[in-house]
Amino acid sequence: MTNSESTADKHARLARQLLEDARREIAAGDTVQGSEKLWGATSQALKAYCETRELPHGKYAHRRHAVFELAERLDNPFVRATFGVAESCHSNFYNDWMEQKHLDGYLPDVETLVNIILDSAAT
């Protein structure tokens, strides 16, 4: 983190880096690491969002609550539904049940979710 980089900016940068890492891992066929990177990108984006709104975000429950509030505020059911997809990616890290085709399909949706969250953090 540079001296001029805020905590929210740091989380946003990490979210973007994790998305890039996820793309690379998924393309290489590593569904366990790729899925965890998708979850990490979502989580970091939510931390950035919470930081800009001075919301707690240290626990998973805080970030879950924040994304549901964001979905309501935006009146966007995609946000809530796709957060469930990101959660399943996190579960895959521990259980390794996803096939490549799952992650190939989930990647664009989770990328869109992360971008919606980061855009909301910036405004």
pLDDT of residue 3: 57
The full set of domain ranges for the chain reads 7-122
* Residue with token string 């989930």: 106
Query: Are 38 and 106 spatial neighbours (Cβ–Cβ below 8 Å)?
Result: yes
- Tell me the average pLDDT across 4-10: 91
- Tell me the average pLDDT across 32-61: 95
Class of the domain covering 7-122: mainly alpha
Helix (H, G, I), strand (E, B) or coil at 45: helix
Instruction: Tell me the whole-structure pTM to 2 decimals.
Output: 0.92
* Residue with token string 């970091």: 44
Crossing angle of the two packed helices 100-122 and 60-74, in degrees rounded to 10: 70
Count each helix (H run) and each strand (E run) in the chain, helices first: 5, 0
Query: Are 73 and 67 spatial neighbours (Cβ–Cβ below 8 Å)?
Result: no
